[in-house]
Amino acid sequence: MTPAEGIRADHDALAGEVPAVASVVDGTAVDEAPDAGLSPRAGRYRWVIVGLLFAATAINYVDRQMIGVLKPTLEAQFHWTESDFAAIVFWFQVAYAVGYLSFGKVVDALGARLGYAVALVIWTIAHVAHGFAGGVASFAMARFGLGIGESGNFPAGIRAVTDWFPKRERALAIGIFNAGANIGAILTPLIVPALVLWFDWRMAFYVTGVLGVLWLVAWWALYRDPQGHARVSPGELAWIRQDPEGPVETIAWTKLLRVRETWAYALGKLLIDPVWWFFLFWLPGYLFERYHLDLKNFGLPLAAIYLLSDLGSVAGGWLSSRLIKAGRGVNAARKVTMLVSAICVLPIWYAQSIDSLWTAVLVIGVTTAAHQAFSANLYTLPSDVFPRGAVGSVVGIGGTLGALGGMGMALLAGYILDATHSYGVLFAMCASAYFLALIAIQLLSPRLEPAKV
């Protein structure tokens, strides 16, 4: 990512203050002469990096979602209430909040390669530890460790995209690797019930833990900085480095917290992340109870929901990039896409009244797809307006607030479900969250101008 001065020049060009600009592509003003020798086809190794990020995010979500998929099984064995389950989820969220903020700084200091490796080692050890748990306290401890490690996934992934992609391709790259979350969410209800039926729930944690080890080997072998990478051609490096360059400086949190653009991103995360956490941890139980499913037949409906989510993640990145290619500025492209996504969430308000399983799957699937489309664009905001050295920290601040919101949602969901046995209030909160997030972003960063830090 460019430093503040370079980003400001790009936005000035978008605003018409720099003449002789031929076109605007994904937030970058493109002058015909300087870009004449650049081509996205000069090399494609950067898409291998996106593939690694995609795979890591899929594994991240397999490990994360297993507690939700196993919720009916574990509740039956350990006689948990909804509040007991909420407490286990809560401690994951506590660790995620602390870890997200810390890993933002770790990634800024160590870089994506080592920072990502550290995160994955921590979360894989904690994931396997679930297989040794025997009650609420031990599950909460394992979830705490998982939250610390998994919190490094998105700060490291976004930093890797910032290092490997020009601004014009970042929304699409983030949308693709973020889609790994949905692939993980699709695979979990298909694989885990089979492992439980073949072996038991403890073995399911051990077997899936192997995936993290295999990914770490591939990551360490294939990932390097693009500068000097043996698999990156000079043409591809020129494409990656086409945005104005400058020194990468780490910026203190105290400075970032005084910037409106930090809070535009962070409040957006605070409002929408709890919705995703809610669906991730409570949706399997909801389908299990509302439509009288069991371990053998609830996997396919859940997988269908997250398949729609996957399409939404890529579509969100594609739509904003498409709008920019059509001549819209970064500000308009990101926010129009977010508005469309917010509108698509509204039908979830009435989901509990739907008696048909597959109609409910469609409504919930469109909601989760819209979340991912909104999220893919929200994730681009730090790289749109902050210098490279601040991206990991800003993402960490936003992730921390999102996890804090998730903590509140976990406790609230447990209380409401124990008290009312109804999801109506929770679905209504989900329906309104995205409009509130977009309003907060618009008020704090009405033009997505470069942050003055």
Confidence (pLDDT) at 360? 96
Phi-psi region of 16 (alpha: psi -120 to 50; beta: other; left: phi over 0): left
Neighbours of 79 (CB within 10 A): 8
Q: Which of 145, 130, 92, 72 is nearest to 302 (CA)?
A: 72
Contact (CB, 8 A) for 279 and 368: yes
DSSP secondary structure, 53-81, as one string: HHHHHHHHHHHHHHHHHTHHHHHHHHT--
- As a whole number of angstroms, the distance between CA 150 and CA 97 comes to 11
Confidence (pLDDT) at 35? 53
Buried b (16+ CB within 10 A) or exposed e, 8-35: bbbbebbeeeeeeeeebbbbbbbeeeeb
Confidence (pLDDT) at 245? 59
Give the Å distances, CA to CA, from 288 to 15, 261, 357, 421.
52, 41, 11, 14
- As a whole number of angstroms, the distance between CA 3 and CA 388 comes to 6
Confidence (pLDDT) at 6? 36
Confidence (pLDDT) at 37? 61
- As a whole number of angstroms, the distance between CA 426 and CA 364 comes to 13
- As a whole number of angstroms, the distance between CA 426 and CA 278 comes to 9
Query: Would the pTM count as exceeding 0.85?
Result: no
Q: Which of 449, 452, 439, 314 is nearest to 384 (CA)?
A: 449
The CA angle 105-146-185, to the nearest 5 degrees, is 105
Q: For the chain, which domains are there?
A: 4-36+47-224+249-444 (1.20.1250.20)
Confidence (pLDDT) at 436? 98
Confidence (pLDDT) at 254? 85
Confidence (pLDDT) at 16? 29
pLDDT in tens, the chain (453 residues): 333 333 333 333 333 222 222 222 233 233 333 454 666 666 788 899 999 999 999 999 999 999 999 998 999 899 999 999 999 999 998 998 888 778 877 888 888 899 999 999 999 999 999 999 999 999 999 999 999 999 899 889 988 998 888 887 887 888 788 788 878 888 999 999 999 999 999 999 999 999 999 999 999 999 988 888 888 888 888 888 887 655 567 788 788 999 999 999 999 999 999 999 999 899 988 998 899 988 888 889 999 998 898 888 889 988 998 998 898 999 999 999 999 999 999 999 999 999 999 999 999 999 999 998 999 899 889 988 998 788 878 887 888 899 899 999 999 999 999 999 899 999 999 999 999 999 999 999 999 998 887
Query: Which two structure tokens, joined as six digits, stand for 43?
Result: 């090399």
User: Tell me, what amino acid is at 300?
Assistant: L
Contact (CB, 8 A) for 244 and 5: yes
DSSP 8-class letter at 25: E
